[in-house]
Structure 1
């Protein structure tokens, strides 16, 4: 039987590449696996040879020690690969298919899935609705920053690429379909971006850059990106965004007014989440900063897309309230302005097929927007460190050295 190597969480600030078991069509006990999921049979699943798997900002929250993730948890929820084994109950997915794996794990059978709310599937996580590969409190499904991974509910979930040779040529774009591109698009779409819109995106990390590119695809007239890191803002400017350096400016509305002539935008997107920082030279962590600032600069009756991650438990928070996910949000301001808020994980399957077509037909250039950068599996720890330092890159792991030779 083939071996398997994977990236594992090794305590706050550390990951390691280690040997793990080759996947089976059953969920075995291991770090983070919910007791009620142990022994769960997955004849509806497949084994995927991972061709690319991306490092996500959500992974970094765990690696920084800001969640209750156990050491040894196998990381990775952005997975693209080739099907090499199918379960007895798989009917339509075939060996040799090249596929994108949505980061949401969804059964396709519950009420949520039937309503296309695959981000809150009711049958895959005994703790609460919703699940993902390699993530804390998500049921314990083994992550895909590995050479091989098991994917359940294959017929329902997997997005098959129509032409393998074409997919190989566009792999750096297509690898973004498992999470980051749909997540960025969801942020823009749920913020009500439409032709002619003015849009503010908080955060120029990969999700923020994906949201900015998505806002452009939806027809926004002006996309403004704010961040504290100059290198990331330069990346946003590289594909036509206006930028605001929040390290140099603590009044966001004034900066928006200099660009638009008014201090408000039609739509705003939070691509930062709970590890947000205040604005200005001496800014410190302030987890409600982004939520409060986007309410402040979004016009009355505007919409706020919030794909940034917020958690129910943050052991590294500065105060007891934030440790429980309770933040000092000016909800009255949002209420008074009649804002619409959309939060939660992205239901990837609502978007990934349309975004696939946009890539294949040259309308979307997501790899360029997020500065996709290939690394080997052994380079993953260095990738995590560089990403954590604020590099303007989206690291794409190539476990079998298919693209990095």
Structure 2
């Protein structure tokens, strides 16, 4: 079958690889302790849609320790074509959303709802994801088929296949960026009448902006340096701040909401942040420090943007191990609350599915979903890296309507 593999910085290619089975086999990035792991609790999916994520782009830029040959892809929606012996409730033919978090459903973290830090799927540390560096080695879903373990626990079946296929470009966002953006807003305390600042107008930032609107925010402000992405944010009702322009961020916030602070802020950028200003270079703590500056006293910060423990391209030795110069004193003085880490997708995906199916939100429009074939994946990665205001959805089998 075809699959998208990371080769080296700024290069991916479509390869022919072995069809998956209900066993975790050795390969690039597979933890030795996971090799041979049997998965009778798993299923094989035919991938209906599988998206390119900004987190994938970090690896493709060479900003992680991802090994050559790693099969990419953690945003998966598919049809069940094979069911393992121990699967009881998921059936062949089900059309399902796959949370990007791989979780066992049995450990303390899973039972407490912290599925982003499952204790049993990654021998290195808590938490796992498909096709991602240091996450245990579960094969990615930017492929024609993929194996999903613990299927009864992990998978979200859509109630009506025909209805789901009509809205598949919206529903494909349930695997990651819609719940992730929503989680950023919920953990930042967004509610009715809130004023909200979202740092970053990439797909997760746009998903967070749409989520803030869904949660009842009165004003959603999106900050970025990319004019096309800011224009897209304005297309669905957001205010915007162009961070290439001179002037302090609190002053720009005050021009919009009447005071230099907001109720809630979301970091949808992560560790490749740049300083503010037209010619600013990379400054990985910029977003964290700026959202502390503009969030009101006793406010909350949602931080779904990715931060890593290993960054070969970091600006200095500290950044290369994920140590950043954060103004924790400012956050302490303002009694801020911080929430970081992988979004626990299962906490939100059923509710967000219902919002999509009942036309309460148009998330595909908000992130400008664009369908490409699996053979076009390398071009999709290149275009995404150039900063286009699009969310690329790979359609491996030609099943997604134009």
TM-score (structure 2 length as normaliser) = 0.99
Where does structure 2 lack aligned partners over 5 or more consecutive residues?
none
**CA distance in structure 2 between the aligned counterparts of 1:337 and 1:404, rounded to whole angstroms:** 49
**CA distance in structure 2 between the aligned counterparts of 1:354 and 1:158, rounded to whole angstroms:** 14
Q: Is the aligned partner of 1:242 residue 2:235?
A: no
Which residue in 2 is equivalent to 1:393?
A: 390
TM-score (structure 1 length as normaliser) = 0.99
How many residues align? The count is 402
Which residue in 2 is equivalent to 1:186?
A: 183
Shift of 1:281: 1.3
Which residue in 1 is equivalent to 2:30?
A: 33
| Structure 1 counterpart SS, 2:229 | helix
| Structure 2 counterpart SS, 1:10 | strand
Q: Is the aligned partner of 1:71 residue 2:71?
A: no
1:61-210 correspondence to structure 2 within 5 Å: 61-210=58-207
Runs of 4+ in 1 over 2 A off after TM superposition: none
Q: Is the aligned partner of 1:263 residue 2:224?
A: no
Please, what is the CA RMSD of the aligned residues?
A: 0.7
The correspondence for 2:283, drawn from 277, 280, 286, is: 286
Q: Is the 2:97–2:157 Cα contact (8 Å) retained in structure 1?
A: yes
Which residue in 2 is equivalent to 1:346?
A: 343
Q: Is the 1:102–1:348 Cα contact (8 Å) retained in structure 2?
A: yes
Q: Deviations over 1:231-290 (max 9, x none)?
A: 000010010000000011341111101111110000000000000000111100000000
Which residue in 1 is equivalent to 2:316?
A: 319
Q: Is the 1:398–1:404 Cα contact (8 Å) retained in structure 2?
A: no
**CA distance in structure 2 between the aligned counterparts of 1:249 and 1:176, rounded to whole angstroms:** 35
**CA distance in structure 1 between the aligned counterparts of 2:248 and 2:205, rounded to whole angstroms:** 20
| Structure 1 counterpart SS, 2:8 | coil
**CA distance in structure 1 between the aligned counterparts of 2:34 and 2:400, rounded to whole angstroms:** 35
Q: Is the 1:25–1:43 Cα contact (8 Å) retained in structure 2?
A: yes
**CA distance in structure 1 between the aligned counterparts of 2:2 and 2:113, rounded to whole angstroms:** 33
**CA distance in structure 2 between the aligned counterparts of 1:309 and 1:231, rounded to whole angstroms:** 22
Q: Is the 1:46–1:154 Cα contact (8 Å) retained in structure 2?
A: yes
Q: Is the aligned partner of 1:222 residue 2:219?
A: yes
**Using a 3 Å threshold, how does the CA distance of structure 1 residues 250 and 40 change in structure 2: closer, same or farther?**
farther
